[in-house]
């Protein structure tokens, strides 16, 4: 059975978000603000990662801080815009509220 393009995109996005979580967890100065915002403690990260929307939230957190975004993109060897594309694949595109 072949995976659809959408499934493959979502799998790649999940992988990038997991990589982003590892990036945050690798440095307490990066992890503490994330934990503070989410209300999680480090022992619950693995469990929380299985929750719907959590991985998109990781990408939201990284994308919300330009310095963090650029640092992660450099470390991951990706274009920073890939974060937004991955987030959209995980949670759907941002709504277009129009004029």
Regions of the chain where pLDDT drops below 70:
1-6, 92-99
The pLDDT of residue 97 is 54
Could you give the CA distance from residue 79 to residue 49 in angstroms, rounded to a whole number? 24
Find, among 6, 66, 23, 80, the residue nearest to 34 by Cα: 23
Whole-structure pTM over 0.85, yes or no?
no
Query: What is the domain partition of the chain in residue ranges?
Result: 29-90
Q: How confident is the model over 20-34, as pLDDT tens digits?
A: 999 999 999 999 999
Beta-carbon count within 10 A of 62 CB: 26
Could you give the CA distance from residue 7 to residue 5 in angstroms, rounded to a whole number? 5
């Amino acid at each position: 059975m072949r995976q659809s393009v959408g499934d493959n995109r979502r799998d790649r996005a999940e992988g990038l978000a997991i990589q982003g979580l590892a990036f945050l967890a690798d440095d307490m100065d990066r992890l503490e603000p994330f934990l503070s915002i989410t209300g999680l403690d480090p022992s619950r990260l693995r469990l929380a990662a299985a929750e719907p929307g959590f991985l998109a939230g990781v990408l939201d957190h990284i994308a919300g801080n330009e310095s963090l975004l650029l640092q992660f993109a450099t470390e991951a060897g990706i274009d920073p815009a890939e974060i937004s594309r991955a987030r959209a694949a995980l949670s759907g595109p941002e709504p277009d509220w129009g004029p």
